[in-house]
Chains A and B, each alone.
Chain A
C-alpha cells in the first residue's frame, strides 16, 4: 500500500523491523512468502521453456538425420567451456546466499560480482558462436545458405559428398531455428540475470541485507540456478548428441 506504517499495530506491539512490510506479521512470513512466489515463478519458467523443448523433441524425432548432420556446426568445446562457466556462477550464487545469511558483507559483494562476471563471460562466448554462424550463413528457416567449403570439417570427414545445398533442401534451417530460439531465449534470461545482479550488488553495497532480510539475494540465486539447469539440458541436447 502507499504507506508502509501501520498506526494500529505500532501502538501495542514492539517496534517493527524497518524491512518488514506493513501487511506481514514477521520477517519469517515475509521471507517465505517471497520465496514461495519465486518458486511459483520458476515453475512458470519451466513451462515457458517447455514449448521449445517440445519443438526440439518433435523435430528431432522427425528429422534425426538432419540433427545428426547439423550438430557438427556447434563447437562442443565452446559449449563445454560455457557449461563450466555457468556451473561456477551457480556456485558463487549459492555462496552469495551463504554470505548474506552470515552477514559477511565483503564476501557477499565478491560473490555477487563473480556471478555477474561469469554471466558476462558466458555471453561473450555466445557472441562469438553467434557471429560465426551468421557469418557462414548457418541461419534459420529459408535463409539458411552455407557454402560447401564452410561446412564443419568433422561433417565433411564423415560425409565427403555433403554440400551446403543438400543441407538446405533437407531443411537445415529448422535445426537452426530451434538452436537460435532455445539458446536465444536462454541468453535473454542470462542478460536479465546480469541486470538483476547489478541491482543486488548496489543494494549489498548500501548494506540492505542482513541475516533476517536477504530474500532478494536468495530468490535471485534461485532464478539463476534455474537458468543454469536449463543450460545443463541445452548443452548435451544441442552440442553433443547427433
Chain B
C-alpha cells in the first residue's frame, strides 16, 4: 500500500476529467440518481412510520436508514471507487458500533430483572 512508487497507471475509472486528475470523477447523472433515490427512501421511511407495525417499526426505520447510509457512502463518499482500506475502516467501525450497542443493550435488559427484584424485596418489609 506504499504510495512512494505510485504511478499514474494505478488510477482507474475516470471516464471524464482532465489528464492527471487524482481520484474518480462522479458523473452528474450518478449524482442525480443518488439524490433521487435518497429522497424516495425518505418518503418511504415516513410512510412506513404512519402504519403501526409494533416492534417492526424500528426495524423498518433503521433498515431504510441503513440503505440510505450505504448509498451515501458508496457514491457520494466515493467508496465504490476508493482505496479498499478506507472501506474497511468504515465497516470495522460499524462492527464495533454494533457490538457496543448490542452487548450493552443485552446486559442492561438482563439486569433490569435484578433491579425489579431488588425493588420488590426492598418494598416487602414495609407491607408485612
A–B contact at 8 Å CB threshold (below): yes
Interface, chain A (partner B; CB < 8 A): 25-29, 31-33, 35-36, 39-40, 42-44, 46-47, 50, 53-54, 57-58, 61-62, 76, 80, 83-84, 87-88, 90-91, 93-95, 97-98, 101-103, 211-212, 214, 218, 221-222, 225, 228-229, 232-233, 235-237, 240-242
Min CB distance B7 to A, Å, is 9
How many residues does chain B have at the interface if contact means C-beta atoms less than 8 Å apart? 56
Complex: A165 Cα to B7 Cα, angstroms = 69
Contact with A along B15-34 (1 / 0, CB 8 A): 01110111101101001001
Min CB distance A98 to B, Å, is 6
Contact of B93 with A43 in the complex, beta carbons under 8 Å: yes
Nearest to B8 among chain A residues (CB) is A28
In the complex, how many residue pairs between chain A and chain B have their CB atoms under 8 Å apart? 165
Interface, chain B (partner A; CB < 8 A): 3-4, 6, 10-11, 16-18, 20-23, 25-26, 28, 31, 34-35, 38-39, 42, 45-46, 49, 57-58, 61-62, 64-65, 68-69, 72-73, 75-78, 82-83, 85-86, 89-90, 92-94, 96-97, 100-101, 104-105, 108-109, 112
Contact of A241 with B97 in the complex, beta carbons under 8 Å: no
Q: Which of A31, A211, A229 is within 8 Å of B18, CB to CB?
A: A211
Contact of A90 with B96 in the complex, beta carbons under 8 Å: no
Nearest to A241 among chain B residues (CB) is B57
- With contacts A87-B42, A228-B72 taken as known, whether A212 is within 8 angstroms of B20 at the C-beta atoms is yes
Contact of B31 with A91 in the complex, beta carbons under 8 Å: yes
